[in-house]
Structure 1
Amino acid sequence: MQRNLIVTKDGSHSVSIPEWEVSYHSVHGAIRESLHVFIEAGLHYWLQQHATASRCVVFEMGFGTGLNALLTLLEAERLQRNIQYETVEAYPLEESMVQRLNYCDTLQQSFWKPVFESLHTCGWNKPELISPFFSFKKVNAFLTEYAASEPVNVIYYDAFAPNAQPELWTSAVFKQLLQMLAPDGILVTYCSKGDVRRAMLSAGFQVEKIPGPPGKREMIRASRQLNA
């Protein structure tokens, strides 16, 4: 599978897969999209609703370039909130490509570049304490093979688009995610297609459409239905 480094409109990198005609992030801005969809609509939203929570458990579907994990680490440090981060990835990026990613420089956080690279190079399937506020575990597996170690507060659902990987947007997959979710948990994703919303609803999610990032009118934030 060929993967190419590309520059998105906010100057930050993403990775494209020509064979699938997809990229890991929005071409309108990788950092901009991740901040909007996963940090602001997901992490910040949950933390604001749970100001006294001792920690937040985050699960990311698709570690990819590590951008969402980096941004979450930076927020854990800035807010001094404890975050336990778990992610699953079946096809890790090559080390040579990881070293070229420009996220820390674009964010003017060059100090964190070795730490960012360590997210990619650290061992699989075991927790790592990256900072006093950020625990990290990545699992080399497909989503269907993954079992959460404990209930999840925030799910970053960042799978490739349904046209590329339709098997990851089914009611069965969302039922698995719902079982992972804590009673007060939420799921956020950039995709708001009608088929995706219907799959979420049939799995037991309550679905809310909210404004999307640049280049996308809407996104989804979902939680448990009252009777689920």
Structure 2
Amino acid sequence: MAYVSEGLGSLQDWDEVMAYQRKNGSLFNSPSTTAAAAIYSFNDSALNYLDSFTNKFGGPVPAMYPQNIYSQLCTVDALERTGISRIFVCEIRDILDRTYRCWLHNEEDVMLDIPTCAMAFRLLRTHGYDITSDEMAHFCKQSSFDDSIHGYLDDTKTLLELYRTSQLRFSREDLILENIGNWSAKQLKQQLSSNKLSTSARSETSMREELNPDLSHE
């Protein structure tokens, strides 16, 4: 419930919510949740975070800030899916090198956000970076998804990213990725059978076309 604390106001236990505060002062990189925390807990770090991006944007602000790493990884993924990544080899290497440094330093903007962490792992591993699945251990159980904002929204895209990541096992003994694959596949199948796909900006037909090949061998 910490992700939707702004809707609870004084009914929320703000001391409990502040346990999720990140190094940049935000709660989940969410301006709205952080603003509520600043109002009810009078937290200086939260106020500094809000000041930093209101000074930058001046007017309307994004729903998540900062979001650079995830958006850059999505760009890399899109370039590879469309088959034109060879044109942007240097740019892609640049993005992945920066992501790898964040991974090695256990940066929270990568490690604490489920889709960012899963996509970073998948792209880094497929590009030959030296990483292990140990950092994915906190996603071993379905509760890691259920207790997140992505679980609250039944986010199909995040589930699919976790499932794809689980398929990059180097060994049958990699229980971390095996467990992630088992529960994410189960959730995806349930969403498919019950017609409860969370498609965001994409159509349900498009999402089904994307899901079926990935789950065909399950």
Does TM, normalized by the shorter one, top 0.5?
no
Q: So what's the TM-score if we normalise by structure 2?
A: 0.31
More helix by share: 2
Structure number, greater radius of gyration? 2
- Tell me: higher relative CO, structure 1 or 2? Use CA pairs within 8 A at least 6 residues apart: 1
Q: So what's the TM-score if we normalise by structure 1?
A: 0.30
More strand by share: 1
